[in-house]
Amino acid sequence: MALDRHALMVGLLAVAVGPAGHGADAPASPAGAFPASDKGGFQYSEPPTWPEIELDLEPIEREVAEQASTRCGTPLAAAPLDLGDADGFMQKMVGKAAGAAIGSLVGGFLGGGGRKEEPELYKDPIRRRDKARIDHPDGDARLRIGGRMYEDGMLVSARVDRARGKGTFHTMFLEKPDCSRIWPEQYLGYGLWGSWSLSVSVTKTTSSYRNGELVDRSVERSNWSRSGEFDASRGFSLWDEVADDDQLKLILDPDQAFLANLRREIGTPAWQEMGFGEPTQGIRDAGALFRVTPADITPGTIAVVHITHVDDGRYRTLGFPLTIQFEEEGRLAFTLMNPDAP
């Protein structure tokens, strides 16, 4: 049976429906009411005003935050992160990079006297024999990683031995069981994949040039790593942006709330900080310098490395959750955490 779309929509809005032509018994039409329909002789009144209900999300958000906070310092910190559709990824990243630190960081690669043929690289102070080889459980990637502890800092050096699509570093960080994260003060590029490209933001920062001459590349940067106490109201929101259309969605799952917070807190990814415009190729060997002391590495603190790859047309990450062991002469050793660890 075919339904008349107009009649169906009007019917859904009706609050009083009755046959016309019954004298005094016929419903009166208030001012501004719908005109009588010529289909079946029915009259329709104005649509009702639906009640509004205010929902207090604070107790729900507090409960989700409390549950999400129990995930800190666990392998969940290395769960895959979805970075978005690979098509059009460059344009989106360029828009986000406008006015950001990337311009000056790439400027450091180019030097003060004009363009170089390749980015400036540093020498890795961690010997190859002091690095552990760690395979990702999915079999798609392998790292070589080692480190050294100093009186006022920690250096973590890693090489992407194998990665589909020549993945590069998306982030490295330390995570404590109390949910505070320590981020690198600086990333150091040691070596490149066979091909590479500098960030397109070099050509987008036209406001930094006058008459073809560079006039400004400076930005303000903190000399300390980011860290802090866990704050449930800040750390785990019930709302998150959908990756590709920037729309908010409601999150009630603690695992997803934890990962959404992590993705937001990462901010500028490592590959972009080191001057590259796409999360593939580019840097293959890198170091992360943390401004910490040995006392800051409390029991249960883990190191996490995310590298990028393309999967079914989307940029995603593969994460390595790593326990930290202190060895002789300040050396650090890393082992892959048990994926079932609490």
For 212-252, the pLDDT digits (tens) are 666 666 544 433 334 444 444 445 667 776 555 566 777 78
pTM: 0.68
- Residues whose CB falls within 8 Å of the CB of residue 197, separated by 6 or more in sequence, listed in order: 276, 277, 278, 281, 282
Residue 240: the pLDDT is 74
Residue 253: the pLDDT is 85
- For residue 103, CA distances in Å to 54, 56, 198, 329 come to 45, 43, 11, 38
What's the rounded Cα separation, in Å, for the pair 205 and 280?
22
Counting residues of the chain whose pLDDT is more than 90, the rounded percentage is 32
Nearest to residue 109, comparing CAs of 100, 122, 97, 120? 120
- Residues forming a β-bridge with 169: 307
Dihedral of alpha carbons 107, 98, 267, 318, sign: negative
Which tens digit of pLDDT belongs to each residue from 296-317? 899 999 999 999 988 777 888 9
What's the rounded Cα separation, in Å, for the pair 21 and 42?
9
- Reported as type and span, the H/E element at residue 248 is strand 248-250
Least confident stretch, 19-23, 33-37, 78-82, 139-143 = 19-23
Residue 181 has pLDDT above 70, yes or no: yes
3-state secondary structure of 190: strand
Which parts of 14-88 fold into alpha helices (H)? 58-69
Mean pLDDT value of segment 171-176: 96
The token pair at 108 is 């450091």
Which tens digit of pLDDT belongs to each residue from 190-207? 998 875 444 333 333 445
Residue 208: the pLDDT is 60
Residue pointed to by tokens 């079999």: 139
Burial class (CB in 10 A: 0-12, 13-18, 19+), 67: middle
Which tens digit of pLDDT belongs to each residue from 129-156? 999 999 998 878 999 999 999 988 999 9
Mean pLDDT value of segment 270-293: 90
Q: Delimit the domains of the chain by residue range.
A: 5-44, 58-336
3-state secondary structure of 139: coil
The token pair at 327 is 């060895």
